[in-house]
Copies of this chain bind each other. A is one copy, B any other.
Amino acid sequence: MIDQLIKKIQETEAPIVVGLDPMLDYVPERLKREAFAKFGETLAGAGEAIWEFNRGIIDQIWDVVPAVKPQIAMYEQFGIPGIEAFQKTAAYAKEKGLLVIGDIKRGDIGSTSLAYAVGHLGKVKVGNREYAPFTEDFVTVNPYLGSDGIRPFLDVCKAEKKGIFVLVKTSNPSSGEFQDRQIEGRPLYEWVGEQVSRWGEELMGESYSYVGAVVGATYPEIGKSLRKLMPNTFILVPGYGAQGGNGKDLKAFFNEDGLGAIVNSSRGIIAAYRQASYASFGEEGYAGAARQAALDMKADLRQAWER
């Protein structure tokens, strides 16, 4: 799967993943009106509204980016109908040829992590039959519980040729509270990064491992040091745009081969129509604005390369 991601990045020339983290606030009034007309102002109405919103975006971006990253919390907050919207979004994105990174940040003790791994990346047995409930291609995983919480994900990834991105250094302001603490003279995130690299050794694709890392765009210096520490680890980089990271800072996350990272933008793309620079698209043109914002991000990254 990591090889497929790389191939798609090369085809689209866009190391970009679109974060499908819809808030009801972003959804144009007409879509909400239609969804509420069908289901009322209910959780089902909310699920329908964000699903239709996502569908519009996917229709406009499937040919310009390699992947989408739905953040499951934004769906889970609407209960079952929200999770249905998550599932439909993931399935539709795959139908359109996009890879799907489920931003689920799960992680637990071994037997429990296995259930998450099976549910999101693998197949679960019911009697004599097998089902793939959530069908993402990659998921994000939290490392706090150590190797035996990661192991089941590795096993399922190996069987299914899928991948994970393990949180190493997150993009939020207080990520340093624990992640930056010094252990034998080096920050915790480096110890985690080394483990990620080790976990990845048994799951190598052509040049990168199926086991990737999450490192926030908001910490480019750290990105640089982790890039060196984990040469074969693909880095998922959140925090571009709305969270404050920008194009010129991102070079540090990539290797000399121009690969090794994929940068996420959520709000900056899916709610682009609310920015002054895309206002001409109007609310109805939200998906067209998202396409343009993705193309502009691609140009921004390319410029950063050429600097």
- Which chain B residue has the least Cβ–Cβ distance from A243? B109
Of A122-130, A157-165, A295-303, the one with at least 4 CB within 8 A of chain B: A122-130
A107 to B135, CA, bound (A): 22
- Which chain B residue has the least Cβ–Cβ distance from A151? B174
A83 within 8 A of B: yes
Best-surrounded residue of A77, A82, A110 (most CB of chain B within 10 A): A77
Copies of this chain, count: 2
Of A36-44, A59-67, A269-277, the one with at least 4 CB within 8 A of chain B: A36-44
A112/B73 in contact, CB under 8 A? yes
Using Cβ atoms and an 8 Å threshold, which residues of chain B touch A124?
A: 43, 46, 77-79
A305 within 8 A of B: no
Of A9-17, A137-145, A203-211, A255-263, the one with at least 4 CB within 8 A of chain B: A137-145
Using Cβ atoms and an 8 Å threshold, which residues of chain B touch A24?
A: 125-126
B191/A175 in contact, CB under 8 A? no
Using Cβ atoms and an 8 Å threshold, which residues of chain B touch A107?
A: 105, 142
What are the interface flags for A97-128 relative to B under an 8 Å C-beta threshold, 1 for contact and 0 otherwise? 00000000111111011011011100011111
A79/B188 in contact, CB under 8 A? no
In the complex, how many angstroms separate the beta carbon of A66 from the nearest chain B beta carbon? 23
- Which chain B residue has the least Cβ–Cβ distance from A180? B146
Best-surrounded residue of A76, A107, A108 (most CB of chain B within 10 A): A76
B172/A126 in contact, CB under 8 A? no
A118/B177 in contact, CB under 8 A? no
A133/B77 in contact, CB under 8 A? yes
Select which of B77, B134, B142 is within 8 A of A79 by beta carbon.
B134
In the complex, how many angstroms separate the beta carbon of A112 from the nearest chain B beta carbon? 5
